[in-house]
Amino acid sequence: MTEKGKRDLGEYYDAVNDQELIRERIYVKDLCHEYNMIRPSATEKKADLIDKILGKKGKDCEIIAPFWCDYGYNIEVGENFMANHNCVILDCAKVTFGNNVFVGPDCGFYTAGHPLDVMRRNAGLEFALPITVGDNVWFGGGVKVMPGVTIGSNTVIGGGSVVVSDIPSGVVAAGNPCRVIRQLPIDDTVLGNPRKPEGEAGAAMLSRMNESHGPVTEWALSFMDPGGANQLLDIGCGGGATIGRLARLAPEARVTGVDYSPVSVQESRDYNENLIQEGRVEVIEASVEELPFADDTFDRITTVESFYFWPDPQENLKEVRRVLKPGGRFFLIADIYGKAGLDQAVLENVELYDLFNPSKEEFHILFRNAGFIAVKIHIKEGTDWICVEGIK
């Protein structure tokens, strides 16, 4: 087995004398040197070079020079990643960062370890264990993370800490060695991931949203005339409450719900268990990117509070139109839209969750470009609610 193969299995390997590993380290350190010499204003050049250095990165990645790593290809960062000056990542094993991770200056992430036995250490043997960091984590300045550590989501690591063991989600931790100081009160929306609900926190969030989304949904559905509708579809069905509302609104129709989150699918099925047993409702796992239905299938389609997260809004609207019958209507329902005067807390959430939040005019253009022959926009006075109605 090669030394690189041993390394990737977490075994002792010769990092000092193996020519393949030496070449890989020199290659990426030359890239790091070049990156560190770029003028701060040369943003495009910096972005191009960091693409060559890192194994994988999400959008909005900023690493402030100087930055150093061992191999580069073992580093994966999520969206909205920021590392301040003097970040060092010794990525002999995988180093994975989630979304919205902020790294203060002079931080280090060290996957490399060495034998306690002096003879083997002097012979150049070492080992490497992965480091994993969740979403929404903030590292204060001067934090050092040791091999094999996992840090949960929504956690803050205090400046100067030395992290030698796993740190759970939703805490403030600090010290040498780093220890949990206190729990953080985290909204289940953050933990549950509204973009794609997951885990127990996601289920709790969906249950709450079944209630909180009720008023805007009831208002918007007042514009729907279900007369003669046989097939209804709810996209991004979440916790399943809208499916139930549609079934009550059109008692003779069959209602289908789709969501790409397995947690949402299960919650919707549980919420509508009786309707499913009666054969009136079906809930399936699917994405708006590729709806598993034939052209011209549905008389009415809804989506409630999910358009913010659609991966390609313009193309996804075309996909919705494809499965809508001629003369059918699509209702996009949201409790905010892009307008002047939104509360600061709303604007902060738009930024925090990277919401796509068009204005009335932008909605009209999107629907027209998707091929809808008519577009009606309903606004409820005194609120930020919107219902965009598209007719095929």
Q: Element (H or E) spanning 235, and its range?
A: strand 231-235
Query: Contact at 8 Å (CB) between 269 and 245?
Result: no
- Burial degree of 30 (CB within 10 A; 0-12, 13-18, 19+): exposed
CB count within 10 Å of CB 23 equals 9
Give yes or no: 114 in active site. Answer: yes
CA distances from residue 9 to 26, 128, 300 in whole angstroms, order as listed: 22, 9, 54
Give residues with Cβ within 8 angstroms of 389, minimum separation 6.
223, 329, 330, 331, 332, 375, 376, 377, 378
Q: Which residues of 155-186 are buried (b: 16+ CB within 10 A; e: fewer)?
A: bbbbebbebeeebebbbebbeeebeeeeeeeb
| H/E run at residue 263 | helix 262-271
Q: Which residue has the tokens 């789709």?
A: 258
What are the CA-CA distances from residue 73 to residues 11, 87, 138, 147, 188 (Å)? 19, 16, 23, 17, 34
Active-site choice (85, 114, 364, 378) = 114
Q: What are phi and psi of 390, to 5 degrees?
A: -110, 135
Q: What are phi and psi of 211, to 5 degrees?
A: -80, -50
Sign of torsion over alpha carbons 16, 18, 19, 22: negative
Q: What share of the chain is helix, strand, coil (3-state, %, to 5)?
A: 30, 25, 40
- The catalytic residue positions are 114
